[in-house]
Amino acid sequence: MVNYLALLRFLFLFLCSSSAFAGSEPKVINFDGWILSGFAQRGIAVQDIAMVAQPIPPYVNSDTIHYQHQPEKLVNPASVVKLFTTGIALDRLGSTFQFNTEFRADAKPVDGHLKGNLYVMGGGDPLFLTRDLWAALLQLRRQGVSVIEGAVVVDRSAFVEKYPLHSLTSSTAEIQEPFDEAPYRAYHAQPDSLLMNHGAMLIEVSLENNAVQLHLPEAPQTWSAVSQLEPVAGPCGSWKNNLSVDFTKQQDQVVVTVSGQYPVSCGNSSLSIRVLNQDWLFASWFREIWQQLGGVLVGSIEEGRLPDNTVSLLIHRSPAINRILRDVNKWSNNVVARHLEMAALTPDQSFDQSMRAWLASLGIDIRGWAFENGSGLSRNTRVTALGTSNFLVYMAGRPDFPDFLSSLPRAGHDGTLRTRLKGTDHYAYMKTGSLDDVRTVAGYLRTKKSQWYAFTIFVNGANADKAWPAMEEAIEYVYRTY
């Protein structure tokens, strides 16, 4: 006969013990010596490392451990800062938010003619491409517009008014304080409310008869390239960081001149450059596409402001934020991150003020923290490993967490982790970062025992470029063990 009283008592004790286990906090211990020795073997001092592996509730094992090393050390996160940028963008804008590029006119077209100007109002779309301009102008043609009798007036003032940085006051502004020795590289593209093609352009480089030739496969027909590259002997190396790139314009013709040395051992190669003159690029593409579509433009293409009392002809909408996040985190696109930074600003506050106020409202200790920009291309941004980990735990509890998680590179699968962390069986979703003397990684790990972790590793100091194998060892250890 079943002893129901004993059974009930057993179930009561089991449920009590299960409840106590589910609510207990993991034990906090320092990373094992052999984990730190992996960094030391590569010439990295232990004081240059900050790490936290924080389990995310619910805790699935009784022996779940919270590991840490210098969790409150202020460090430079490099591109890991994009996690914060995409987080605040989700919070402030929502996962379905879209940027608008609007085409307006002084009046509706009559018999195919716009009697006045066509106005193009940039709304900050970071993914506006040549094909999007083509699609918009095709729609105008299908609406019956064939002749623009006035000018095309481009209004790119949205970011200037909201965030008056020197690099946003004009589309032709120079970088006043270059971050490194290669300000022409594509990763230096600056925010622009009417950005095209990520603010960058590909140059194909080839060797022909011992001369270096250049080709612009992504440029308008009125753009050409001139090579002043000297072929030299020696290893291929970092030739892209020691060049000079200049843009000159005469009437509608734009010439891109590249000067420097090109090792012949590089063979055929390519170089992505920042297009400093975004107004030139838009004007060239507009003229070319409008002509291809059979349209006529009587006036000029010029910069200006949208006047009152115009009528809307069409609106081009960007992909939603939950799609844009992937360009930022999976491929570490700096200029797209900067656009999210602009869009998520609190009125009358800098990005640093907006971000720190938001994080403080979440209960994160931000003492000593600083955010120079949303891309991580900074020597001055500072966070802590523990604060970053706490932020990741917060994001894991949001209803839009699937959008955030899916934006991160997946180990051994895509983005900047496509060849990394293969020892985690693809269960690591993490953002990487690198600058001179900085290597970082942060994100999520699901272990073999199905415990989710927020994992953060920052290495700031000499030999940081050698840190990745030791970083992988730490992550894979937690994956196998917990």
Which ranges of 410-467 would DSSP assign to H, the alpha helix? none
Both 257 and 384 in one domain: the answer is no
Tell me if 118 sits within 8 A of 286, measured CB to CB: no
Both 471 and 362 in one domain: the answer is yes
For range 437-459, the mean pLDDT: 97
Q: Please, which pLDDT band fits residue 14 given cuts at 50, 70 and 90?
A: very low
Is 16's pLDDT higher than 80? no
Specify the pLDDT at position 345: 87
CATH code for position 443: 3.40.710.10
- In a domain, residue 55? The reply is yes
pLDDT in tens, 249-264: 999 999 999 999 999 9
Both 374 and 466 in one domain: the answer is yes
Q: What is this structure's pTM?
A: 0.91
- In a domain, residue 61? The reply is yes
**Exposure pattern of 340-379 as b/e (b: 16+ CB <10 Å)?**
bbbbbbeeeeebeebbbebbeeeebebeebebbbbbbbbe
Both 151 and 167 in one domain: the answer is yes
pLDDT in tens, 18-61: 333 444 789 999 998 889 999 999 999 999 999 999 999 999 98
For range 105-118, the mean pLDDT: 95
Tell me if 424 sits within 8 A of 410, measured CB to CB: no
Both 300 and 434 in one domain: the answer is no
Mean pLDDT of all residues belonging to the chain:
91
Reading the block at residue 183, the tokens are 């300000």
pLDDT in tens, 380-426: 999 999 999 999 999 999 999 999 999 999 999 999 999 999 999 99
Domain count, the chain: 2
Specify the pLDDT at position 251: 92
Q: What percentage of the chain has pLDDT greater than the value 70?
A: 91
CATH code for position 109: 3.50.80.20
Instruction: Give the domain-ending residue among 261, 293, 317.
Output: 317
Instruction: Give the domain-ending residue among 317, 342, 361.
Output: 317
Q: What is the largest CA-CA distance in the chain?
A: 100
Instruction: Give the domain-ending residue among 264, 293, 317.
Output: 317
- In a domain, residue 334? The reply is yes
DSSP state of 150: S
pLDDT in tens, 326-383: 999 999 999 999 999 999 988 788 899 999 999 999 999 999 999 999 999 999 999 9
Q: Please, which pLDDT band fits residue 10 given cuts at 50, 70 and 90?
A: very low
Specify the pLDDT at position 162: 59
- In a domain, residue 8? The reply is no
Rounded to whole angstroms, the Cα distance separating 91 from 94 reads: 6
Both 259 and 158 in one domain: the answer is yes
Parent domain of 333: 23-95+321-481
Question: Of the candidates 31, 100, 106, 28, which has an alpha carbon nearest to the alpha carbon of residue 65?
Answer: 28
Is 452's pLDDT higher than 60? yes
For residue 394, count other CB atoms closer than 10 A to its CB. Answer: 16
Rounded to whole angstroms, the Cα distance separating 340 from 335 reads: 9
In terms of pLDDT, which residue wins out, 151 or 172? 151
Is 169's pLDDT higher than 60? no
Both 271 and 417 in one domain: the answer is no
